[in-house]
């Protein structure tokens, strides 16, 4: 018995020594600057070493830290990326449920050289705490339940306390107060779709903090169609085709989620066919103004930007981007492609032209990676567009000087 006990003790000591030695080896192999649980990804600054192995590790947007925000109620952030893998509201090609993972893959090299945006003269990754919160668990079997899941998931993050305070106005030095109607400072959420149906639950979430909101909508389609025209159902609700990726703005207008007369609908390159002129009349009634894709030939990028800013003014605004606003020559992987759109360069320039607007949250939708090229043209385009959105958001806090309208 004593011999057995002695052998057991010797084996335990040998195992402990081996584990300690193995741990020391791992410590020696850790890369320089390694942080076990970073609150923020480590991005190189000005004149620092860049070009790390961006193709390794778990794929998050721009290699941001993955935080399980929906289950970890203590997680705080200034901007959160959130996937909404829903595509059962499509009318043509499905597949956007894989959009969130595709966009993340397309974003891998966004920060290869550090993340500094040259035209906007800012590095959002250095200014704010930005995280990837993964995806909302969305059911593919029950649209009504899925829509509620998306609203609840977005609202859960929108009503967190941001990591950074509002601070002071950059010109006057006076302290800023929140823009939200509930008087609170909210973080921003950038949602990765998913088909465009997801914007109805997202706007319902936004309404809970900001009330009726102005909308900037880049798309090749109106998305304000009446259910009787697009889906064949007059009845309000999910069933019977009433809510889909062509009617969600109709319902958003009916529910009072959009500021009437101060929104740009489909201005990102409206070029779809219609059932007839009545579709435009219905679009007008929903409170939207349009900029046709072809107008860029006469107005140019600067003229498009001026038209958008004239419409939304300095009010808080929600930004929704359908990847099909870009011509399929540059972004083929989408559910309802339309030729004659804008180039990736033009759309990125127009988004940079929104610098100074109070963008409360945003989304990019209708990316369906199954139709992409081997070179990942569409998912890279989506990621690069969001890089511009990040820069605009980082430069303009969601605050105003007290007493100023």
The per-residue DSSP string of 225-248 comes to --TTTTTS--SSSSGGGTSSTTTH
Q: Is residue 237 part of a domain?
A: yes
Task: Provide the domain count of the chain.
Answer: 1
Token couple for 80: 């959160």
Asked if the structure places residue 55 within a domain, the reply is no
Residue 56 confidence class, pLDDT cut points 50, 70, 90: confident
Length, in residues, of the chain: 405
Q: How far is CA 224 from CA 213, 234, 263, 266, 388, in A?
A: 16, 14, 12, 10, 26
Comparing CA positions, the residue from 94, 240, 259 lying closest to residue 181 is 259
pLDDT of residue 35: 43
Return the pLDDT at 266. Answer: 44
Res 49 pLDDT > 80 = no
Determine whether 250 is exposed, middle or buried from the number of CB atoms within 10 Å of its CB (0-12, 13-18, 19+). buried
In this prediction, residue 75 carries a pLDDT of: 95
Contact 213, 249 (CB under 8 A): no
Reduce the DSSP state of residue 59 to 3 states and report it: coil
Q: What is the CATH number of the domain that holds 328?
A: 3.40.800.10
User: pTM for the complete prediction?
Assistant: 0.86
**What are the two backbone dihedrals, phi and then psi, of residue 112, each rounded to the nearest 5 degrees?**
-55, -40
Indicate the DSSP class of residue 272: -
| 51 in a structural domain | no
Model confidence at 22: pLDDT above 50: no
Q: Which pLDDT does position 228 carry in this prediction?
A: 83
Q: Residue positions in the annotated binding site for Mn(2+)?
A: 196, 219, 221, 223, 322, 324
> Quick check: is 211 in a domain?
yes
Percent of the chain residues past pLDDT 70, beyond the cut: 82
How many whole angstroms separate alpha carbon 317 and alpha carbon 358?
Answer: 6
Q: Which residues contact 171 (CB under 8 A, 6 or more apart)?
A: none
Binding positions are 196, 219, 221, 223, 322, 324
**Model confidence over 125-164: pLDDT tens digits?**
999 999 999 999 999 999 999 999 999 999 999 999 999 9
| Distant-in-sequence, close-in-space partners of 217: CB < 8 Å, separation ≥ 6 | 223, 249, 263, 264, 265, 266, 267, 268, 288, 320, 322
**Distance between CA atoms of 252 and 39, rounded to whole angstroms?**
36
Checking if the pLDDT of 28 tops 60, the result is no
Chain centroid to CA 144? 22
Beta strands in 64-184 (DSSP E): 79-84, 130-135, 176-178
Q: Which of 162-171, 224-233, 270-279 has the lowest mean pLDDT?
A: 224-233
Nearest Cα neighbor of 188 from 402, 404, 390, 342 is 390
CA angle (122, 126, 132) in 5-degree steps: 110
Residue-number span of the structural domain to which 350 is assigned: 61-397
Q: 390: pLDDT confidence band, cut at 50, 70 and 90?
A: very high
The CA distance from 379 to 242, in Å, is 29
pLDDT, position 33: 47
The verdict on residue 23 lying in a domain is no
Residue 371 has pLDDT above 80, yes or no: yes
């Amino acid at each position: 018995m004593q011999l057995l006990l002695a052998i057991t003790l010797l084996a335990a000591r040998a195992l402990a020594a081996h584990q300690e030695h193995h741990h020391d080896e791992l410590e020696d192999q850790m890369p320089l600057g390694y942080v076990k649980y970073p609150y923020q990804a480590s991005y190189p600054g000005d004149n620092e070493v860049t070009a790390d192995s961006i193709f390794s590790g778990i794929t998050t947007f721009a290699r941001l830290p993955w935080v399980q925000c929906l289950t970890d109620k203590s997680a705080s952030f200034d901007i959160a990326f959130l996937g909404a893998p829903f595509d059962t509201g499509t009318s043509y090609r499905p597949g956007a449920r894989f959009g969130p993972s595709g966009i993340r893959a397309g974003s891998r090299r966004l920060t290869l050289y550090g993340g500094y945006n040259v035209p906007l003269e800012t590095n959002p990754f250095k200014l704010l705490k930005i995280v990837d919160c993964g995806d909302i668990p969305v059911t593919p079997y029950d649209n009504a339940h899925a829509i509620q899941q998306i609203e609840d998931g977005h609202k859960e993050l929108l009503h967190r306390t941001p990591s950074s305070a509002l601070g002071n106005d950059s010109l006057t030095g006076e302290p800023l107060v929140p823009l939200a109607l509930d008087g609170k400072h909210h973080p921003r959420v950038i949602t990765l779709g998913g088909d465009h149906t997801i914007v109805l639950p997202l706007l319902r979430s936004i309404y809970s903090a900001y009330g009726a909101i102005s909308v900037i909508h880049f798309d090749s389609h109106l998305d304000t169609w009446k259910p009787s025209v697009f889906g064949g159902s007059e009845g309000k609700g999910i069933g019977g085709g009433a809510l889909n990726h062509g009617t969600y703005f109709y319902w958003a207008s009916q529910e009072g989620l959009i500021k009437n007369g101060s929104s740009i609908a489909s201005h990102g390159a409206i070029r779809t066919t219609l059932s007839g002129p009545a579709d435009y009349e219905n679009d007008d009634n929903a409170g939207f103004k349009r900029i046709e894709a072809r107008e860029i030939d006469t107005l140019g990028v600067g003229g498009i930007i001026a038209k958008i800013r004239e419409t939304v003014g300095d009010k808080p605004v929600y930004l929704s981007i359908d990847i099909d606003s870009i011509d399929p020559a540059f972004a083929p992987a989408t559910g309802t492609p339309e030729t004659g759109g804008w180039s990736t360069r033009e759309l990125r320039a127009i988004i940079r032209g929104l610098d100074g607007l109070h963008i409360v949250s945003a989304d990019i939708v209708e990316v369906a990676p199954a139709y992409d090229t081997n070179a990942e043209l569409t998912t890279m385009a989506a990621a690069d567009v969001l890089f511009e959105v990040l820069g605009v958001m980082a430069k303009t806090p969601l605050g105003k000087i007290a007493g100023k309208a």
